[in-house]
Amino acid sequence: MKALIQKLVESIGPSGYESNVRELIKTEIGDAASNFQVDPLGSLLVRTGKKTAAGMRVMLSAHMDEIGVIATHIDENGFVRLTTVGGVSPRTCYGGRVIFVSGVHGVIGGDRPDSPTSMHSIEQLFIDVGATSRENCPVKVGDFAAFDRPFLDLGDRLVAKSMDDRIAVAILVETLRALKGKETPHELVFVFSTQEEVGLRGATAAAYGVDPDLGLSVDVTGVGDTPKGAKMEVGLGKGPAVKVRDGRMLADPRIVRWMVDTAEKAQLPYQLEVLEAGTTDAAAIQLARAGVPAGCMSIPCRYIHSPSEMVDYNDVTNCVRLLVELLSHPIELK
């Protein structure tokens, strides 16, 4: 599975420009499914299984997009000013590298700071693509870029620029593969969504289109297991996290119980997650049409929205196992 993860996390797909990721997912799913659809906002919908009397239409969602930057101005010396796509902190930018959707590479520099300790604002940063004038700059206003950083395999711990949320994309692809040939009473709609980082936009539209009986997103969540870190129970390597609530969603308690019971029955590790800020596609699914019971399975992740997001490989494989268990049997919400 690490090879799949590496391919996914190293592909480039800032919000709104997820095509590379989408094509890669299609290739990786291969003949594990046959019903592919791209919706009007670019989300990839992959359907398997038929809804039986004991089954549901289940929407699973992992977002394809990643945070990035957009070129706003090319100055007379060919430096590119930028704005952000999604939650990018200037702290993680200076000295970093970006790659534009067009393939152009660049490094991030900044105006000379007022003092050695002051931090750049986004307005004070620029991208140097090696150009010397506005005319020979290969970037134009409106071009999108993502951060550029190779995949790092530390054994159990994996590091990449876009674990958020390609690790969940990899999990859903692997789950699809694992479910091939297995009996399931459900119609499963795997949604690889767009524009999550700018406000759950792809999932909002996809959930309306899918009209599911139950929704589950898979995304990363913060942790409290680093030195002087956040006060939070969740940590790396303790299993996938069952979300109880986050900044914009109260998970359906019946779904929380269903996930916890299934994990215990299958003797799979899990932890409970209460996240103070931030949210996932599940918040959008929950409010689609007349409302949908929704929950989220989270992968604990350190250094979220930095170019070095870290997850634990065992959490990833256990998440796949738990999802296969969850989706192979009739679901009783109680």
Partner 1 sequence: MNPKTNSQQAPVLGAEAIALLERLSNAVAVSGDEGEVRAIVLEQVKPHADEVKVDALGNVLVTRKAKTKDALRIMLAAHMDEIGFMLVDEEEGGLYRFATVGGIDVRQLVGKPVWVGKQHQAGIIGARPIHLTKRDEREHSIPLDQLRIDLGLNGKAKVGDRATFATTFRQSGPSLVGKALDNRFGVATLIELLKQAPQNVDLLLAFTVQEEVGLRGVRVAAYAFAPDAAIAVDSTPAADLPMWDGSENSKFNCRLDGGPAIYVADSGTLSDPRLIRHLSQTGDELGIPYQFRQPGGGGTDAGAIHKTRSGVPSISVSVPGRYAHSAVLIGRLADWQNTFNLLHAGISRMNRVLFEQPR
- Within residues 31-50, the interface with partner 1 by CB under 8 A covers 39-43
Q: Is 196 a catalytic residue?
A: yes
* Shortest Å, Cβ 139 to partner 1: 12
Residue closer to partner 1 (CB basis): 91 or 140: 140
Q: Footprint of partner 1 on residues 207-246 (CB under 8 A)?
A: 208-209
> How many residues are recorded in the chain?
334
| Structural contact between residues 221 and 251, judged by C-beta atoms closer than 8 angstroms | no
Cα separation of the two ends of the chain: 34
- Looking at the Cβ atoms of 135 and 183, the one nearer to partner 1 is 135
Least Cα distance to 310 among 154, 165, 166, 157 occurs for 157
Residues in 130-159 that interact with partner 1 by CB under 8 A = 140-142
Region of 67-75, 275-283, 293-301, 324-332 interacting with partner 1 (CB under 8 A): 67-75
Residue type at 122? Answer: I
Site string for partner 1, 102-131 (x = CB under 8 A): ---------------------x--------
Residue showing tokens 């599975």: 1
Tokens of 91: 């702290």
**Which DSSP symbol is given to 116?**
T
- Among the listed residues 6, 11, 162, 195, the single contact to partner 1 using CB under 8 A: 195
CA 270/CA 263 separation, integer angstroms: 7
The residue (of 204 and 262) whose beta carbon lies closer to partner 1 is 204
Residue 78 CA from chain centroid, whole number? 33
The number of residues that bind partner 1 (CB under 8 A) is 32
User: Among residues 55, 78, 202, 222, which is the contact residue for partner 1, using CB under 8 A?
Assistant: 202
Question: Which pair of tokens denotes residue 21?
Answer: 């990721």
CA 3, 102, 133, 82: dihedral to nearest 10 degrees? -80
Catalytic residue set: 196
Q: Which residues here bind partner 1, judged by CB under 8 A? A: 15-19, 39-43, 70-73, 75-76, 81, 83, 85, 123, 140-142, 195, 198, 201-202, 204-206, 208-209
